Amino acid sequence: MRRDDDLPAWVSEIPAERRPQLNAKGGLSISCTRLVQQFLSKNFSRKLSLAEMAAICELSPYHFARAFSKTFGVSPHQYVLNLRLDFAERLLADRRMSITDIADLSGFSSQSHLTTTMKKYRNATPQQVRARQGRSRTSE
């Protein structure tokens, strides 16, 4: 059995909703989980293939996708989308940046792709997120 104080320090830095299950049966090993997270946090804004992610763990794309889903609770694609959306939301706070530039920096193929994806998964368009952030700043 693994105790919480034995877990690597990097796990405690991950938001609770994105924390991997380090002991999930059929999931990724702890070292592979850490390597994949580090890789994705540095490369989420570029085009990524499942084969490229799987190569980090020396697994086939099929086995990697299954193990990743068991460890993270979402598919690799969904995990990367969440990283991109989180980054885009942080960039939207800077009103000097255009939404097109934010979409490009966040790894989306176009402003339309960002808008469609954000509306689908965050229930708000980039413009609505930006307006919400403006309101929360004025109330502080």
Identify the pLDDT of residue 6: 38
Q: Which two tokens stand for residue 82?
A: 């969440």
> How far apart, in whole angstroms, are the C-alpha atoms of residue 117 and residue 84?
10
The pTM score is 0.80
3-state secondary structure of 60: coil
95-128 per-position pLDDT tens digit: 899 999 999 999 999 999 999 999 999 999 999 9
Inform me whether the pLDDT recorded for 26 exceeds 70: yes
For 75, phi then psi, to 5°, come to -70, 160
> How far apart, in whole angstroms, are the C-alpha atoms of residue 116 and residue 6?
41
